[in-house]
Chains A and B, each alone.
Chain A
Amino acid sequence: MLQPEPKREVLARRDAIVAGLREILPESGVIAETLRMKPYETDGLPAYRQMPLAVVLPETTEQVAAVLQFLHREGVRVIPRGAGTSLSGGALPLADAVVVGMMRMNRILEIDYADRCATVQAGVTNIGITNAVQGDGFFYAPDPSSQLACMIGGNVGMNSGGAHCLRYGVTANNLLGLRVVTIEGEIIDIGGHHLDAAGYDWLGLLTGSEGQLVVVTEVIVRILRGPEGARAMLAAFNSNEIAGQCVDSIISSGIIPVALEFMDRPAIHACEAFAHAGYPLDAEALLIIEVEGSVAEQDYLLGRIKQICGKFDPISLKVAESAEQSAAIWKGRKGAFGAVGRISPDYLCMDGTIPTGQLPLVLRRIGEMSDACGLKVANIFHAGDGNLHPLIMFDANDPASFATAEKFGADILRLCVEVGGCLTGEHGVGVEKRDLMPVQFSPDDLAQQRRIKDAFDPGWLLNPSKVFPLAAPHTQALAA
């Protein structure tokens, strides 16, 4: 992968830059020793690695501001980092860049049940918010698979989703306010404790901006009261096509399940071998469908869904009779990445979205590509919203295998765009899909996005080499 040339004059001044950072932060907040920087050289996309110039761990917004002001003055690139769980290489360092890690900003500052919001620092984990409020029956809705580790600041950066987006939306739909620091080191409050701030929708623009525009230090999230209960069911079918038609039929009936997950045959087998969740191994496609409400409401909805599924000649229908049985149904799906990891030394997790009506065609084409390139693929899919997660299995010790996997992944994403979808539904562009952006966007589309980047960060110091293709005829991305 092509990366921008490190700035030689920055590399040459490394000792002075580290010394300058030590003047701003306490001793333990600046890491410059190779061994101790090792954990920061990669993220959730470990195929790419690069040691940074240094790592800083600020504890307050003011420290972040002072660090950015200093690095801006020195012309040093900045890599914001949460827990480092990005699957698209969003936190991959550059040799001449300083990683600004948010893990020490991990305090919950305010919980307000009457106004249904919480103010948290960027380094609080996603699950940490729910853990803090669930004793009172509340939760924070977006639930990415990495929620035990990933941090809310990173969730804002990537506009993270999860399995319950169809009902509860993604990160952008669950925020009220942000405290951010500009590359010049200015602290700005966006939004607040209220809905729909006047002026341009900075909250919407900054969410999912992948660290290109500002560094997020505090977040005001909406918290929701949980439902009385939730229950899942399994429905197994003879083909991907039939399962896809069943999904359409459920949604057309007016039911929006809180979760609607799809697994193809390879995914079913991998997950069952790993989790022993009781998935039928003779099925070509499996749906996990979850509904919420009182027990009577769950019975009503699951009864209607069962009736709809019955029209599609299911191999099996299994409705959970208890919370334990629901958990068992989810266990296989939630362990999917680990399950695939067990049968293949390495895998790439792709993340395109397609119009749901294109599902049978896309899965058939992915199967053909898999046969042609000789790499296996398991498909897991948020069926209600069309967000595909093909897991491409390869061997990282074999460079040819990795190259084939990358090409296979890119071909899948091109296919997603071709059928009316997009490159990434929830993982972000990062470095991984950077060079595919022209597949989805015209030169004018990308130029407009670059001009927004220019408006916030004219020197292109914030998280460079991500999101925007390097090869484009726009000198700033390369020459900054």
Chain B
Amino acid sequence: MSEAAGFAGEAGVIAAVRAAYASGTPVEVCGNGSKSGMLRPVQAGARIDTQALTGITLYSPQELVIGAGAGTPMAEIAAAVADKGQQITSEPPDFSALFGTTAPQTLGGVVATNLSGPRRVAWGATRDHVMGVRAVNGRGELVRSGGRVLKNVTGLDICKLLSGSHGTLAVLTEIVLKVLPRPERRGTVVFAGLDPVRGVAALSAALGSPYAVCGAAYLPAEAAASLGFKHSVALARIEDFAVSVDYRTAKLRDELAEFGAAEVLDDAASVAAWAAIRDAAPLHGHEGAIWRISVRPSAGPGVAQALSAAFGARWFMDWGGGLLWIAGPATQQAHAAVMAAANQAGGTWLLFRAPDSLRAAVPVIPEEPAALARITASVKAAFDPKGILNPGRMYAGI
């Protein structure tokens, strides 16, 4: 991470935030806007984007770190690390089809939304791999946290606080990510025809095996059909050296025989299946609202069943049953049903995509208990005392 405040474009962001701070003008903070349909719409008088903050600033493959301007397209970073046989560990999804956009998503956007793909269940979320950030707070001050090393507990972890903060605390200008080698081979064990409860039981058994399963999804028949499967499927992925993938998929198939005869997908078929799951392809083409619910995995099937009964939800599960993708009508009734089902399961929820009228009218993430809500307001003010950065994006009034 560069030491001097000389990163191209950063001075422009500082000047823009200072001007907004001076005039008290609310600003929309974004990258290329590929995920601006998430959460609540922002009412702003101006816009600060990171499009001038592009380019890889640091890549040290043997030190497992890559740094880049926040506006750098994610595809550019993925290509650079692939060139050295590495990959972005948290498997960031590409939701352009879901949001109906062609804007390429940026590194800053992925970090600001903390979105992670199927590998999250084994290797952590995007926020777990953010080693350092430079960002401009709501006063127009440059704030740095972390750095370019893999182990760092120096001071409060502002890297994690800004990850998933949706541009409401600061404008990310430069980010350093930890990367890992791209495994030699991928393989997927597929159990077909299980009901959701048995399917999640199979995934729990797979994730609880010694074989380092790093993807675990359940698709009911309708979702499975969109990936070319004839029945519902529970899929368990293994990524490693070729000899390990061959050995471990065979062991997994044998040891989980109680869940029926399993098929094993080869490398190419695994890559295709998990890219579709990552990008929520089974819900592409759905016109209404989309929610993401995170619960303890064993509670996943119950939530799916409740929402199927409530409004005929289309759905599938990732993260061993812990992440539910739900599609349904963009109505307040459907939203209330999602909130109730997730809350009852002790989990969390997010209105992922909806028409502006709905997402402006309802809470898009759970409201916090009073004591925590006070801390949220105080921490927001600690970064952005005039409330000018993406006001209302996460919570009305914050």
Q: Which of B143-179 contact A (CB under 8 A)?
A: 143-161, 163-165, 169
Q: Which residues of A contact B366 (CB under 8 A)?
A: 198-199
Closest to A138 in B: B208
**Chain A CB within 8 A of B236 CB:** no
Count of B interface residues, CB-CB < 8 Å: 85
Closest to A182 in B: B371
Bound CA span A423–B158, Å: 16
A205–B143 touching, CB < 8 Å: no
Asked whether A448 and B152 contact (CB < 8 A) given A199-B366, A200-B165, A255-B181, the answer is no
- The stretch from A56-64, A337-345, A424-432, A472-480 touching chain B is A424-432
- The stretch from B16-24, B28-36, B292-300 touching chain A is B292-300
**Chain B CB within 8 A of A124 CB:** no
Closest to A229 in B: B210
**Chain A CB within 8 A of B323 CB:** yes
A429–B154 touching, CB < 8 Å: yes
Asked whether A192 and B165 contact (CB < 8 A) given A445-B145, A448-B158, the answer is no
Bound CA span A296–B65, Å: 31
Q: Mark A249-265, 1 if CB is under 8 A from B, else 0.
A: 10110111000000000
Bound CA span A455–B382, Å: 7
Taking each of B145, B160, B323, which has the highest tally of chain A beta carbons within 10 Å of its own beta carbon?
A: B160
**Chain A CB within 8 A of B76 CB:** no
Q: Give how many A-B residue pairs fall within 8 Å (CB-CB).
A: 262
Q: Which residues of A contact B184 (CB under 8 A)?
A: 254
**Chain B CB within 8 A of A201 CB:** yes
Q: Which residues of A contact B144 (CB under 8 A)?
A: 441-442, 445
**Chain B CB within 8 A of A364 CB:** no
B212–A227 touching, CB < 8 Å: yes
Q: Which of B247, B298, B372, B378 contacts A114 (CB 8 A)?
A: B298
**Chain A CB within 8 A of B51 CB:** no
- Taking the nearest CB of chain A, how far is it from the CB of B357, in angstroms? 21
Asked whether A422 and B147 contact (CB < 8 A) given A114-B298, A201-B114, A251-B62, the answer is yes
Q: Which residues of B contact A170 (CB under 8 A)?
A: 151, 153
Q: Which residues of A contact B62 (CB under 8 A)?
A: 248-249, 251-252, 356-357
Bound CA span A166–B150, Å: 8
Taking each of A249, A251, A296, A446, which has the highest tally of chain B beta carbons within 10 Å of its own beta carbon?
A: A251
**Chain A CB within 8 A of B241 CB:** yes
Bound CA span A166–B208, Å: 21
Q: Mark B225-264, 1 if CB is under 8 A from A, else 0.
A: 0000000000000000101100100000000000000000
Majority-rule SS of A interface residues? loop
A225–B210 touching, CB < 8 Å: yes
Bound CA span A207–B127, Å: 13
Asked whether A226 and B210 contact (CB < 8 A) given A115-B298, A212-B156, A296-B247, the answer is yes
B127–A199 touching, CB < 8 Å: no
Q: Which residues of B contact A365 (CB under 8 A)?
A: none
A355–B149 touching, CB < 8 Å: yes
Q: Which residues of B contact A209 (CB under 8 A)?
A: 156-157
Taking each of A225, A227, A444, A448, which has the highest tally of chain B beta carbons within 10 Å of its own beta carbon?
A: A448
- The stretch from A29-37, A268-276, A380-388 touching chain B is A380-388
**Chain B CB within 8 A of A161 CB:** yes
B155–A449 touching, CB < 8 Å: yes
Q: Which residues of B contact A254 (CB under 8 A)?
A: 85, 181-184
B63–A440 touching, CB < 8 Å: no
- Taking the nearest CB of chain A, how far is it from the CB of B1, in angstroms? 8
Bound CA span A429–B157, Å: 13
B247–A353 touching, CB < 8 Å: no
**Chain A CB within 8 A of B219 CB:** no
Bound CA span A173–B150, Å: 13
B149–A115 touching, CB < 8 Å: no
Q: Which residues of A contact B247 (CB under 8 A)?
A: 294, 296-297
Q: Can you name 8 A-B residue pairings with CB atoms under 8 Å?
A: A161-B151, A172-B128, A172-B160, A190-B372, A193-B296, A254-B85, A442-B144, A451-B382
B residues with a Cβ closer than 8 A to A are 1, 60-65, 85, 114, 116, 120-121, 124-125, 127-128, 137, 141-161, 163-165, 169, 180-184, 201, 204, 207-210, 212, 241, 243-244, 247, 294-298, 319, 322-323, 346-350, 365-366, 368-369, 371-372, 375-376, 378-379, 381-383, 394
User: Given A198-B366, A199-B376, A228-B210, 5 more contacts at CB 8 Å?
Assistant: A165-B151, A198-B349, A199-B366, A200-B379, A208-B153
